[in-house]
Structure 1
């Protein structure tokens, strides 16, 4: 009896990742945002308050900017969110993984990134026409060494 139940539930009910007429945009990246502020020189009064073994003339923050992402499909906003940096001191990389189902077909895709809190708007942008077949996954990634936003 157990074997019959196991056999049935290993194939049923059928799992459908997407509807038959849908494709998927997958936003997936890990990227450290820029440092929030520049280093500054400590005053002599500030240095006097710090124990001698910890005195450094420069105060450099570790906190990183959140990474903001906006995705537009055919001129309409599809997704807009900011991803906080990891770590207790907010000094790690921001990581994102989002699944965005879309209708299959030809679409104008525009992706914008901002990884610097000191910059208004977006400092990376990419637009292109994608031909998404039913069941196809279109990946949106960010690799700064390869020009920033990648759509594959």
Structure 2
């Protein structure tokens, strides 16, 4: 049986512990970004194109009949070139390399940009086959960022390539 002083002591200690936890659960207030800042998150995972080439008639003639595929496509995937411009200024440039033991996996990038809330001209360009010059996926738009807003730059070939959400 507990003595009244032990019971009062436990209530005081448990109350102090609960108050301690309650205070630090709500204070100090955590802010991911400052009040006047918006975020742009670039998050892309994509399989680079295969760097295929057409075989010449002489090459096809040298191959056994069951191996005469007109296109020679290696297992490896191409590197992916990605560029992001904000108001005409280069914000991010990278070459994404394919993953995997045989360089046949997905290429991935994640980058976070903090910008003051406002209007910006955003341009994203991607080339998933570096043998071909230029960029085969381009998305340009004027965007309006509100304070605390998070905008995502993503890629989905079924939705036409690059998109902002």
Report the CA distance between 1:43 and its aligned residue: 8.4
Report the CA distance between 1:10 and its aligned residue: 2.8
Question: Per chain length, whose mean CA-contact separation is higher, i.e. which structure has more relative contact order (CA < 8 Å, sep 6+)?
Answer: 1
Which of 57-66 and 76-85 deviates more? 57-66
Map 1:1-150 to 2 at 5 A.
2-38=17-53, 60-150=73-163
SS in 2 for 1:10: helix
Over the residues paired in the alignment, what is the CA RMSD in angstroms?
2.5
Identify if the C-alpha distance between structure 1 residues 60 and 123 changes in structure 2 by more than 3 Å, giving closer, same or farther: closer
Larger Rg, first or second structure (1 or 2): 2
CA distance in 1, matches of 2:86, 2:28: 33
Aligned residues: 144
Contact 2:123–2:139 (8 Å) recurs in 1? yes
Identify if the C-alpha distance between structure 1 residues 43 and 15 changes in structure 2 by more than 3 Å, giving closer, same or farther: farther
Contact 2:51–2:73 (8 Å) recurs in 1? no
Structure 1: stretches of 5+ with no match in the other structure: 48-54
> TM-score, normalization: structure 2?
0.75
Identify if the C-alpha distance between structure 1 residues 15 and 115 changes in structure 2 by more than 3 Å, giving closer, same or farther: same
Q: Which has the higher helix share?
A: 2
Contact 2:81–2:130 (8 Å) recurs in 1? no
Report the CA distance between 1:118 and its aligned residue: 0.6
